[in-house]
């Protein structure tokens, strides 16, 4: 499944790179005027869906652009065909195709492929994770005051207000914050120690499924609120020694609203 995800992610990445060489326009918006989608988001999902169906006809598929099929095999693919759409629109290179394979609800393989960066993160459950084939171990920072922390913002006004409120409590306690614009790559960056930790509220499964496995397999603690697994409410990926301190700052907030 990892090999298949890798092949399909490369094919979709090539399609997006070719498309990016022409004019890219925001076709329409989704949950709010800031939540853009381009024709290429949709073309990428169509390509990924058709390749996965050809290769594994009984599998399910959940995709950001509307695919939602439980399948019959117990395997479900979770796909963000273009994570970082706003970066893509502005020709900033931080965007990726994210593909995860879930077996009976557990993610077992994940690929986050960022062709404009020349970076591909891969992970298989129990088998470690890698960046361009090089095995990963997350940051060894133990003190939040020395931590560079990545996060992101959702698209609705309400969610953004809540996220900025949280940020006012996080910023004074960390080395600095990065907002790079693609959740799957933020998780990869945390796995690679390019940032020390990452958190975001209000993500969707396609944003975090592959990247969370990459981070977990790099030795990070990846979890949600109050010992629960990650969910759309909260994803934290941090070195074990940082996790609780970051969690405790974030745990006092009301649940994230949903797009
Ligand atoms: C978004 C990006 C962004 C994150 C948002 C996501 P999209 O995904 O991952 O970094 O902050 O929460 O929705 O819309 O570019 O696929």
**Residue 22: CATH number of its domain:** 3.30.540.10
Task: Evaluate whether 214 touches 194 at the Cβ level (below 8 Å).
Answer: no
| Distance, CA of 205 to CA of 134 (rounded, Å) | 26
pLDDT surpasses 70 at 28: no
Same domain, 149 and 245: yes
According to the model, what pLDDT value does residue 27 have?
Answer: 62
Q: How far is CA 202 from CA 51, 94, 158, 190, 232, in A?
A: 29, 20, 11, 19, 5
pLDDT surpasses 80 at 152: yes
Per-residue 3-state assignment (H helix, E strand, C coil) for the chain: CHHHHHHHHHHHHHHHHHHHCCCCCCCEECCCCCCEECHHHHHHHHHHHHHHHHHCCCCEEEECCCCEECCCCCEEEEEEEEECHHHHHCCCCCCEEEEEEEECCEEEEEEEEECCCCEEEEEECCCCEEECCEECCCCCCCCHHHCEEECCCCCCHHHHHHHHHHHHHHHHHCCEEECCCCHHHHHHHHHCCCCCEEEEECCCHHHHHHHHHHHHHCCCEEECHHHCCCCCCEEEEECHHHHHHHHHHHCCCCCCCCC
- Does residue 259 lie in a domain region? no
Give distance in angstroms: CA of 85 to centre of ligand 1: 7
The domain of 231 spans 144-250
pLDDT surpasses 50 at 257: no
Q: What is the CATH number of the domain that holds 242?
A: 3.40.190.80
The answer to ipTM > 0.90 is: yes
69 lines ligand 1 (CB under 6 A): no
According to the model, what pLDDT value does residue 259 have?
Answer: 45
Average pLDDT of the chain to the nearest whole number: 92
Last residue of one domain, picked from the residues 135, 165, 198: 135
pLDDT classification of 22: cutoffs 50, 70, 90? confident
| Distance, CA of 207 to CA of 182 (rounded, Å) | 8
pLDDT classification of 35: cutoffs 50, 70, 90? low
Same domain, 8 and 118: yes
Same domain, 90 and 180: no
Q: Which atom of ligand 1 is nearest to the CA of 207?
A: 9
> Whose alpha carbon is nearest atom 15 of ligand 1?
84
pLDDT surpasses 80 at 253: no
> Whose alpha carbon is nearest atom 13 of ligand 1?
154
pLDDT surpasses 90 at 8: yes
Give distance in angstroms: CA of 200 to centre of ligand 1: 10
CA-based nearest residue to 237, from 188, 194, 197, 205: 197
Same domain, 8 and 123: yes
Last residue of one domain, picked from the residues 71, 101, 135: 135
CA-based nearest residue to 3, from 56, 67, 73: 56
- Does residue 119 lie in a domain region? yes
Last residue of one domain, picked from the residues 69, 102, 135: 135
According to the model, what pLDDT value does residue 30 have?
Answer: 61
| Distance, CA of 122 to CA of 2 (rounded, Å) | 8
Same domain, 161 and 238: yes
Give distance in angstroms: CA of 182 to centre of ligand 1: 5
Q: For the chain, what is the domain count?
A: 2
pLDDT surpasses 70 at 101: yes
Task: Evaluate whether 249 touches 165 at the Cβ level (below 8 Å).
Answer: no
Give distance in angstroms: CA of 181 to centre of ligand 1: 6
Ranges 79-83, 163-167, 174-178, 196-200: which has the least confidence: 163-167
The pLDDT > 90 percentage for the chain reads 80
Same domain, 13 and 65: yes
Same domain, 6 and 131: yes
pLDDT digits (tens, 9 = 90+) for 117-142: 999 999 999 999 999 999 999 999 99
């Amino acid at each position: 499944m990892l090999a298949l995800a890798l092949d399909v992610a490369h094919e979709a990445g090539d399609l997006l790179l070719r498309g990016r060489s022409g004019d890219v326009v925001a076709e329409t918006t989704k949950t709010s005027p800031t939540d853009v989608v381009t024709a290429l988001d949709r073309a990428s999902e169509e390509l990924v869906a058709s390749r996965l169906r050809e290769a594994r006809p009984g599998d399910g598929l959940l995709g950001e652009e509307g695919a939602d099929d439980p399948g019959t095999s117990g395997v479900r693919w979770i796909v963000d065909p273009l994570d970082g759409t706003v970066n893509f629109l502005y020709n900033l290179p931080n965007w990726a195709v994210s593909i995860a394979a879930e077996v009976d609800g557990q993610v077992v393989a994940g690929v986050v492929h960022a062709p404009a960066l020349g970076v591909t993160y891969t992970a298989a459950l129990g088998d470690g994770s890698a960046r361009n084939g090089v095995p990963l171990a997350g940051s060894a920072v133990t003190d939040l005051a020395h931590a560079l922390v990545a996060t992101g913002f959702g698209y609705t006004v309400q969610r953004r207000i809540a996220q900025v409120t949280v940020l006012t409590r996080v910023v004074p306690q960390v080395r600095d914050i990065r907002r790079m614009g693609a959740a799957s790559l933020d998780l990869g960056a945390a796995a690679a120690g390019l940032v020390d930790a990452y958190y975001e509220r209000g993500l969707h499964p396609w944003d975090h499924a592959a990247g969370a496995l990459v981070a977990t397999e790099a030795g990070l603690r990846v979890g949600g609120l109050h010992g629960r697994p990650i969910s759309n409410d909260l994803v934290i990926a941090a070195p074990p020694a940082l996790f609780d301190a970051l969690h405790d700052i974030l745990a006092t907030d009301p649940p994230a609203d949903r797009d």
